[in-house]
Amino acid sequence: MQKINKNAVLALLSLTSLVFLLFQLYYYKFYLSQKNGAVFSKVRGSQSGQDSTRWHVVRKFLGLLSSHNIPVYLIDPLILGLVDKDFEQIRSSPDSPSPECRYFCAPRDFTTFALLDKTWKHEVGLFRTAEKMGFQWLKIINKDPRLDGMDDLSGIEIPLHYIFKLASHAIHLVVFYERSGNYLWHGPLRLKQHMDRKFVPFRKLHFGRYPGAYEKPELLLVSIDDLKVQIPKNPSSFLEEMSHSRFLECRYREARAFFQLYPDDASLDAVEFRKKAKSLLHLAALTLNNLGVKFWLSSGTCLGWYRQCNVIPHSKDVDLGVFIRDYKADIIPAFQKAGLPLKHKFGKVEDSLELSFQGEDDVKLDIFFFYEEDDHIWNGGTQAKSGKKFKYLFPKFTLCWTEFVELKVHVPCETLQYVEANYGPDWKVPVKTWDWKSSPSNVQYNGVWPVDEWDDVIQIY
């Protein structure tokens, strides 16, 4: 009796363990095919099988695209970061076989590639081949921002992101569009209601939380881990650019509403002024960019962008902001060289610096320098005849890209606070008479320049 019992127990346990073994195998398989690698790798930790999976997925994906003649380039910050460390070596020996998988096997959930929209046709064939190769894919489309600024055009929605998933790894393909202002733009990644929220851990994506603006990159064909792939020619500057790439779209809908209330000035004068302001802004942007001085739209120009997506025709100048830490002595000669003579200079580098340049036909370019304090940022103003100083206070802000009069420029990301600080809660109402000493709601009296400094801090040409 006892013997039988023991045998039975043994048999039962063997059976159970067999069942569990099968179950484990099934579960393993299920994981590989259904769930993303993130969960898996988190639990299991990194292991060599996983590493080579990533490499294989990337290889398959590159094969898929090259079979359809679609040129992509690598923008994955993780891999580019690794590549950047060994950049000299990679660049100098483009074809040498690599002894070990150092980049594409690095633990991560995604590999990110970029695709220029105009270099491919939105073809169905790609997805069919992808499916045949075992990829699952997700396409994120949205409105075309290039048509957003226009009244009542309803274009087709454009693809912004693709995600290809195979086994435990996913490829994030970001579609870049060329926009007016000679830059590249990628859209935000927003899931529509019916979409599978669990397709991949979207939070871990490096691109898509916000739209982004980039310069057109120069590309370099390299061989990384025995895979031929295009990467930005200068990975470190690309990574730097990426960290400040957030893009704000102009508020076209609000701008249209504004023009409903206050019809646009279509007089010849207004047209002319806008044209001049635009070319002055282009010239200023070119000059400052060449110097490597970061600037943003300030005061009236910023208000024009924010409120009506255009230059305010009754403003008489173009206003830019620059952080004082970015000040360079070359600024004045550079503008003079560009044909914009200095009109006046108020303040000094240590305090309330402000430069004005004379553009074509009375259109003036004002550059205000901003001083950062612990809890606010300010710029200064000076009244020439009395030597009075003024201070304009702003809450702290960061810089975002936007597009304005066919130019990629910076604006404060927290634009509303910035505009409200400057123009008060009624910024939506156009005001034709504006006194820079008293009208701004953030102005503070800041004393008087000592008379002996006047020659230095009040220069008028």
Residue 150 interacting with other proteins (CB under 8 A): yes
Q: Which of 29, 85, 91, 209 binds other proteins (CB under 8 A)?
A: 209
Tokens at 349, concatenated: 């580098």
Residue 191 interacting with other proteins (CB under 8 A): yes
d(CA 162, CA 49): 26
Residue 153 interacting with other proteins (CB under 8 A): yes
Quick one: 153 or 429, whose CB is closer to other proteins?
153
DSSP string covering 224-237, please?
ETTEEEEEESSHHH
Non-local CB neighbours of 238 within 8 Å, separated by 6+ positions: 75, 80, 217, 232
Taking residues 53 to 82 in sequence order and writing x for each that binds other proteins by CB under 8 A, - otherwise, the string is: ------------------------------
> Could you tell me the smallest distance in angstroms from the CB atom of residue 286 to other proteins?
17
Residue 17 interacting with other proteins (CB under 8 A): yes
HSE (side-chain half, CA atoms, 13 Å) at 45: 1
**Residue burial 209-224, b: 16+ Cβ < 10 Å; e: rest:** eebbbbeebeebebeb
Quick one: 198 or 385, whose CB is closer to other proteins?
198
- Which of 349, 347, 348 lies closest to 388, judged by CA? 347
Quick one: 304 or 440, whose CB is closer to other proteins?
304
Residue 25 interacting with other proteins (CB under 8 A): no
> Could you tell me the smallest distance in angstroms from the CB atom of residue 207 to other proteins?
11
Residue 14 interacting with other proteins (CB under 8 A): yes
Q: Do the Cβ atoms of 342 and 352 come closer than 8 Å?
A: no
Taking residues 257 to 276 in sequence order and writing x for each that binds other proteins by CB under 8 A, - otherwise, the string is: ---------x-x--x--xx-
**Residue burial 239-260, b: 16+ Cβ < 10 Å; e: rest:** eebbeebbbbbbbbeebeebee
Burial class (CB in 10 A: 0-12, 13-18, 19+), 236: middle
Residues lying near other proteins in the complex (CB under 8 A): 6, 9-10, 13-14, 16-17, 20, 23-24, 27, 31, 35, 38-40, 42-43, 118, 121, 123-125, 144, 146-147, 149-156, 178-182, 189-194, 197-198, 200-204, 208-209, 266, 268, 271, 274-275, 406
